[in-house]
Amino acid sequence: MLKLSKLKEAVICLKAGKVTLPYPAAPEPVPSNFRGRPVFDPNLCIGCGGCANNCPAREILISDVCQEIRIIRYSGQRCSYCGRCADLCPEQAITMSGEFETATDNIQDLRQELEVFMGTCQRCGRCFKNENPLNDLILKGYRADDLETNRWVHTSRSFLGEGDFGDLKIELD
């Protein structure tokens, strides 16, 4: 009886066949609903900041370096790939890619950074998004003051400096 049970066991084992996946040699497809590393599309992003507001890990940070440029930083190190940013994004600028091969020796490699030109509210000075892309063309962010040093104009009046212009009234745009 003992030998018969061993034989049965052997049959079961042989039935299973080879189950080991050839992963490192051959690529392994991910399931369709798999959420991998989020990928940001800079052309679609309007800089609303919904992703930063709703990230559970506070992984997406938004900083307005000046009144015209908003920088969206995703550092990627404690991201749990929950996909809330992709769900919330009104423009579908964030997609959860199927990319899982993100092992690295430097954690800074996972960083993504977006730069978005924004309109400036004339009352409060904060960034806002224009209604259409044509309005973006008159934004100050699209103008570079000094192309060699790539210096940004941080405030509208910064280029006036300390000088005394007397009676001269300059109409600022």
Looking at the Cβ atoms of 3 and 163, the one nearer to other proteins is 163
- Which tokens hold the place of 105? 């020796």
Q: Can residue 81 be called a binding residue for other proteins (CB under 8 A)?
A: yes
Q: Can residue 160 be called a binding residue for other proteins (CB under 8 A)?
A: yes
Q: Can residue 17 be called a binding residue for other proteins (CB under 8 A)?
A: no
Q: Can residue 54 be called a binding residue for other proteins (CB under 8 A)?
A: no
Min. distance of Cβ 90 from other proteins in angstroms?
Answer: 19
Looking at the Cβ atoms of 87 and 113, the one nearer to other proteins is 113
Applying CB under 8 A, the span of 3-11, 69-77, 84-92, 122-130 interacting with other proteins comes to 69-77
* Exposed/middle/buried for residue 83 (C-beta within 10 Å: 0-12, 13-18, 19+): middle
Decide if 68 contacts 127 (C-beta within 8 A).
yes
125-163 per-residue burial string, b: 16 or more CB within 10 A, e: under 16: eebebeeeeeebeeebbeeeeeeeeeebbeebeeeeeee
- List 6, 7, 9, 56, residue binding other proteins (CB under 8 A): 56
Q: Can residue 63 be called a binding residue for other proteins (CB under 8 A)?
A: no
Min. distance of Cβ 74 from other proteins in angstroms?
Answer: 9
Min. distance of Cβ 135 from other proteins in angstroms?
Answer: 14
CA 46 to chain centre: 12
Phi, psi of 142 (to 5 degrees): -80, -5
Applying CB under 8 A, the span of 1-9, 84-92, 107-115, 124-132 interacting with other proteins comes to 107-115
Amino acid present at 60: I
Radius of gyration of the chain (CA): 27
Report which of 49, 126, 114, 30 is spatially closest to residue 75, judged by C-alpha positions.
114
Interface residues with other proteins (CB under 8 A) are 19-21, 23-24, 28, 30, 37, 40, 42, 56-58, 69, 75-82, 99-117, 137, 141-145, 147, 153, 159-160, 163, 165, 168, 170, 173
